[in-house]
A and B are shown apart, each in its own frame.
Chain A
Amino acid sequence: MADFSSVLSPREGDIHVIAAARHIVKALGANKNLDDDLRKILSQLDSHLSAMTVLTTESRGTGFREVEEQLKYAEEKIRGWESNQSLLWDSDEFDPLEAAEFLKAIDEIQALIGGLRSLSVNGNGKQKELLNRADSNLQMAMSRLEKEIIHILVKHKQYFQPKNMSFRSCVLDVFYDESFVSVEDITSEEALQRNSSGKESDEYIFDLVHPQVIPHLKSIANVMFGVNYDQEFCQAFVSVRRDALEEYLVILKVEKFSIEDVLKMEWSSLNYEIQKWVRAMNIIIRYLASEKQLCDQILGDYGFVNPLCFVEISKGSLAHLLNFGEAIAMGTHEPEKLFRILDMYEVVADNLLDIDALFSEEAGTAVRLEFHELLRSLGDSGRATFLKLGNAIAANASTRPFLGGGIHPLTKYVMNYIKTLTMYCNTLNVLLKDQEAADPNPVVGPENGHGVSSITHCQMACHFRSITATLESNLDSKSKLYKDGVLQHIFLMNNFHYMVRKVKSGELRLFFGDEWIKEHIVKYKQQAMSYERATWNSVLSFLKDGDSPGLCSASKAIKGFTIAFEEVYKNQTGWSIPDPELREDLQISASQKVIHAYRSFMGRKSSSISEKYIRHSPDDLQNYILDLFNGSPRILQSSCKK
């Protein structure tokens, strides 16, 4: 450059100095960290310099000729592209030089406009005409750029691919049944899935638009913002990105439902939709972090415009997710919904900090508040649903006794239910604590257990114990339905035993505590003893040593015993003790008692009993006792015999 300047005339030298100054101004303007005032000063300086260019050339006596030349040059570039239908930033034929030249032409026009404008408005016709031409070309170029942005954004869109977010648990739940019937134990798989569905711990940012085109978008943004076409840029940018997000929700299979639809929906479909929603929430928040990055990359230099655009992109889709959440929270409080409501609550709670961060600026206030509101609604709904469980259990009335005295579905339901609830322990404790604050009669008693695990005294544990107490009293009324008092004992024993077994088998042990377990072991053992007494004492009473020895009475005793035994056999083979160990215990204990008494009776009286009265050997009896409690009524062959 220096070499050239020596051959240029002084005036031309001036022009170069001015050009260099403009260059410096531009370079300064490219600094991101400028505040608005400084930026303004620079832009004023730039237009002054550009006016100087114009004036310098003018005063050289060439009039506007040089300006016109420059304009013509830039105009040709822009018009040339205007007639060309292919896009500048089309990656297949992308020519960085060409794109750069296009932007440079705009730059030049902008400079000319700045210069022309800064001349007095009452300038001559030529000046006005040139300005008109320049503005017109600028508009054409901007219109062009608008198309280019849309094209780039659409063509280089990349689909968000979350890590570890395979579409899990689309299967319907196994542990729910409307009528408390046929409840299976929850699989450990479900528990595992639950854990893996949690929020990803590390920030994960994905490029929603190919990184290669980010500089292009940025340079276009720079140019458009520079000439006050920022509205057009934002409109185009927001609309494409908003569509992309909506499209992504479709990919996530999130469907649109009105609140009316949701409130009328069958639980099985609702359950499925909720699971999709929970997953979508988790993913969308990650997605939005990436969207935010994109906005920052492209609009980061433009102050409040950036968060404004981000909010506009995300608002509509989030409103949809929010409304579904509100609709669920509005629904009725059937116990089966609890897990899903808690899932929803947790996903919102887990993501709340991120949401607050994403929408921290003023433009995002409404979105932020809506999520807090949703969390509250879901919390209220979850709490109400949980508290209703007790009512539901109390209200579960039966009119007929449960066949065979086995484990009632209600018991299974309740125990599996609370067992599953332990996975939501922290969440539920938070929700219940909120309620305690408002409740004058808290369920939680004073802390009294020294050295007892603190879980045993958490809100949820207290609620659990109150739930099982309700269950016990319900079982008690159910047991009254049996006409046979002995079956009552079997029924209660079975159900209490089931409760104890469930509590002992896992997490629940911590919630209920050893005290509870001991108490309840005693309870079912008492029922077992009562059973034994009620059943076998009367049977064995025949074998008691009477005062009247003799053939007649001994035979009579055996006969009485046999009939009584066969009666028990007939009844109690139909009863059921599903737990093999418990069944065996009872059988062994009965066996010991019966066989012992029988053998000793026979030993003492064998001589005085007529053969024909002895139908069963002790070994037979032992085998018969093994038939008891298997849930299939049988009749002893012998009793059919004469």
Chain B
Amino acid sequence: MPATDNQGSFLNRISIRRNQVVSMDGNHEQELEDLELFQKHVADRFADLLSQSEDTLGDGLLSISWLRKLLDVFLCCEAEYKAILLLGRDPSQISKPPLDKLVPEFHDRVVKALDVCNAVSHAVETVRNYQKLAEIAVAALEQRPIGDGQVRRAKKALNSLMILLEEKEGSNHKWTERAWSFGRRSTNATTSSGKDRATSASQFRSLSWSMSRGWSAAKQIQAMSSNLVAPRGGESSSPALPVYIMSTITVFVMWALVAAIPCQERNGLLTHFPVSKQLGWAQSIIALQEKIAEEWKKKKEKNRLAGLLEETQRIERLGLSLIEFADSFQFPPDADRLDEVAVHVAELGETCKKMEKGLVPLQQQIREVFHRIVRSRTEVLDLLDQGGKVTASTM
């Protein structure tokens, strides 16, 4: 976790510099310069993400590797933001306008982001379930000679996978209930076909234990973006701007994660949140936002839970074609058809490997983002606390 390693020394640097520059007058110029640099870095980093999003070899927009890069960008921007917000700033400034309003608003947003991180991190487990089912299919179809047994094995796994992928928004609970009733009913040891279906569904259903009831990722994103207003006039260069930039980045990153990974209640997820087009640093964010929104709209027509994660979509596409193959399979198999299928199987295998390699680190990175956000929030609150103490004791 390189970003964490850096953090300690980085924070030390901040605190050292903070102590050195107790209210210097030439500070303002420095601040403007830092702010300029921050905007440039944000612009560059997201431009990078935008260019990677064009990748057609599977590491493009909303792929695991792209998301991991996105989180890296978040961590970098966050560190820089914190430096700008706290560096050389008299803590009491945070409790004065405009920061007295903006910082608490930012913290509200950030707390919501933490919940989104948790929901997404939890949902990565569901994606791992997709992976495991796909792996079974790959294992079965890689065998030679291929026969009814292998094909049926693959089909069984793929069907379970499709049930998972096709789970509609809000149907999560139904699976859970069925799973529960299965648990209870099974003591009578009745075996009906309905129960069989529930069994396989409960076995592979997305995990139920996530957020509190009624919690909705879509609503959180909505709430995070609702009071996001670009600073105007005299405020546009003041500390209001970095807060706005970081807020926008936070909302964007959380939104992209929710769009990619199937977490609790995404009904009515925004496809657009306002970012002023005139802002130089925001151009790539806006472009990415439009691209993701486009994908989301396409996907939404199918009203599926699965999410836009590139690997998930690939699994779905390949899975469907392999199910088709399985449905029409007859022993002995046609050699040409087998070659064709082998290509798909290999691609599915590749995708699974990518997931195997990337999902756990992605989950850890989400956790890292979580801890970073918590720490930064605590740091600012502690600073405010100390500021409060200073003013209290002088009174």
Contacts and interface: CB of A to CB of B under 8 A. Distances in A.
A142 interface: yes
A155 interface: yes
A491 to B, nearest CB: 24
B149 A136 contact: yes
A135 B147 contact: yes
Contact of A151 (B145, B186, B377): B186
A52 B211 CA distance: 58
Given A86-B189, A231-B139, A260 B112 contact: yes
Interface in B31-69: none
A319 B118 contact: yes
A229 B121 CA distance: 28
B212 A150 contact: no
A243 interface: yes
A68 interface: no
Central interface residue in B149, B208, B374, by most chain A CB within 10 Å: B149
A207 interface: no
A121 B150 contact: no
Interface in A354-388: 366, 370, 373, 377, 380, 384
Contacts of B85: none
A341 interface: no
A261 interface: yes
A25 B139 CA distance: 26
Contacts of B150: 135, 139
B378 A150 contact: no
A136 B139 contact: no
Contacts of A330: 374, 377-378
A330 B114 CA distance: 11
A240 B182 CA distance: 11
B203 A236 contact: yes
A239 interface: yes
B389 interface: yes
Contacts of B111: 259-260, 263
Interface of A is mostly: helix
Contacts of A258: 115, 118, 211-212, 215
Interface string A200-228: 00000000000000000000000000001
B144 interface: yes
A150 B125 CA distance: 20
B212 A135 contact: no
Nearest to A143: B156
Interface in A385-401: 391, 395
A353 B234 CA distance: 56
Given A155-B189, A239-B203, A121 B367 contact: no
B309 to A, nearest CB: 19
B374 A232 contact: no
A142 B139 CA distance: 15
Nearest to A264: B111
Contact of B152 (A129, A136, A255, A323): A136
B174 to A, nearest CB: 15
A316 interface: yes
B371 A85 contact: no
A291 interface: no
A136 B118 contact: no
Contacts of A380: 378
Interface of B is mostly: helix
A116 B132 CA distance: 29
Given A154-B186, A260-B115, A316-B209, A370 B367 contact: yes
A235 B209 contact: no
Contact of B125 (A129, A236, A247, A315): A315
Central interface residue in B182, B203, B389, by most chain A CB within 10 Å: B203
A147 interface: yes
Nearest to A239: B203
A418 interface: no
B149 A138 contact: yes
A139 B152 contact: yes
A100 to B, nearest CB: 20
A462 to B, nearest CB: 20
A246 B208 contact: yes
Contacts of A240: 203
Contacts of A131: 145, 147
B204 interface: yes
A366 B367 contact: yes
A323 B139 CA distance: 36
A261 B147 contact: no
Interface string B105-138: 0000001101100100110010000001101100
B308 interface: no
A139 B149 contact: yes
A535 interface: no
Nearest to B148: A136
A319 B370 CA distance: 13
B238 interface: no
Given A239-B202, A243-B183, A319-B118, A92 B189 contact: yes
A137 interface: yes
B180 to A, nearest CB: 8
B132 A235 contact: yes
A249 B209 CA distance: 10
A577 to B, nearest CB: 33
Nearest to B392: A395
Contact of B132 (A231, A246, A316): A231
B212 A319 contact: no
Interface string B74-115: 000000000000000000000000000000000000011011
Nearest to A245: B209
B356 to A, nearest CB: 12
A231 B179 contact: no
Nearest to B213: A256
A317 B210 CA distance: 9
A132 B124 CA distance: 37
B100 to A, nearest CB: 17
B384 to A, nearest CB: 11
Interface of A: 85-87, 90, 92, 121, 125, 128-129, 131-132, 134-140, 142-143, 147, 150-151, 154-155, 228-229, 231-232, 235-236, 239-240, 242-243, 246-247, 249, 255-261, 263, 315-317, 319-320, 323, 326, 330, 366, 370, 373, 377, 380, 384, 391, 395
18 contacts: A92-B189, A121-B144, A128-B147, A139-B148, A142-B153, A143-B153, A154-B183, A232-B157, A235-B204, A239-B203, A247-B183, A259-B111, A260-B111, A263-B111, A326-B370, A326-B374, A366-B367, A370-B367
State the 10 A-B residue pairs at the shortest beta-carbon distance, nearest first: A135-B149, A132-B147, A139-B149, A136-B148, A136-B149, A256-B212, A258-B115, A239-B203, A85-B191, A246-B209
